[in-house]
Chain A
């Protein structure tokens, strides 16, 4: 089944404790991205990757890192999480070009 998976689905952590949210897709998509979803603000792009070893900042990259060592994986790293990073995070992938974007199930992160 073609899908985007994220882990963990729920995470509660404390300020400053490094964490990684994994994202994997099995559709051989070149393009992957991370979004955060906040009430009233919609979806805002954090980082995106156009292919292996090619990443770039989205609209709200501060406090986040990403890597793309393999085509299927695109982990999101929070080196020192802060409470303002409490949010619902979505990973997505698509083929190059304006085709349908497939979303993961979301990761709800709470930073206390």
Chain B
């Protein structure tokens, strides 16, 4: 069965410190991985997808098929990065997404 695990419910970091959000997945096929972000009182929006291999707002994520992980990283956290982050797994051509439980990031000055 497909599963996405985000082990940290809450991540509190200081401004300027590195931040890493962990995401592990379970899927026997070829996965498509995404990170979605939800700022306070806003709708979810796509942050990153692994196929594009780009950096958005200073965030990067690398798919590690050996470790079945797709951790999200940023070298220097900013206060505007405070949000809820969801890792999501796409497993079929129809586009169904399996979401993790989410990690709340709080960046303090």
A residues near B (Cβ < 8 Å) are: 31, 33, 35, 40-45, 48, 50, 90, 92, 94-101, 103-106
B12 interface contact, C-beta 8 A: no
Please, which residue of chain A has its CB at the minimum distance from the CB of B104?
A39
Q: Which residues of A contact B96 (CB under 8 A)?
A: 31, 33, 45, 48
Which residues from chain A contact B44 at a C-beta distance below 8 Å? 43, 90, 92, 103
B28 within 8 A of A: no
Q: Point out the residues of chain A lying under 8 angstroms from B100, CB to CB.
A: 42
Among listed B60-68, B74-82, B86-94, interface-contacting one: B86-94
Across-interface contacts of A90 in B (CB, < 8 A): 43-44
B20 interface residue, CB < 8 Å from A?
A: no
- CB proximity of A89 to chain B, nearest CB, Å: 12
Q: Which residue of B lies closest to A99 (CB)?
A: B95
B95 close to A31 (CB less than 8 A): yes
* A-chain residues with CB within 8 Å of residue B97 when the two chains form the complex: 33, 45, 101
- Hey, which chain B residues are within 8 Å of A45, CB to CB? 96-99
Point out residues on B near A: beta carbons under 8 Å.
Answer: 6, 9, 32, 34, 36, 42-46, 49, 51, 86, 88, 90, 93-102
In the complex, which residues of chain B have a beta carbon less than 8 angstroms from the beta carbon of A43?
44, 86, 99, 102
Contact between A101 and B46, CB atoms less than 8 A apart? yes
Which residues on the B side are within 8 Å of A94 (C-beta)?
A: 95
Tell me, rounded to whole Å, the shortest Cβ–Cβ distance linking A68 to chain B: 14
10 smallest A-B Cβ distances: which pairs? A42-B101, A98-B32, A43-B99, A98-B90, A103-B44, A42-B102, A103-B43, A100-B46, A31-B95, A105-B43
Q: Determine the residue in chain B with the shortest Cβ distance to A94.
A: B95
Q: Contacts A50-B94, A96-B94, A100-B49: A40 and B32 contacting too (C-beta < 8 A)?
A: no
Give the chain A neighbours of B98 by CB distance below 8 A. 45
Determine the distance from Cα of A40 to Cα of B86 in the docked complex, in whole angstroms.
12
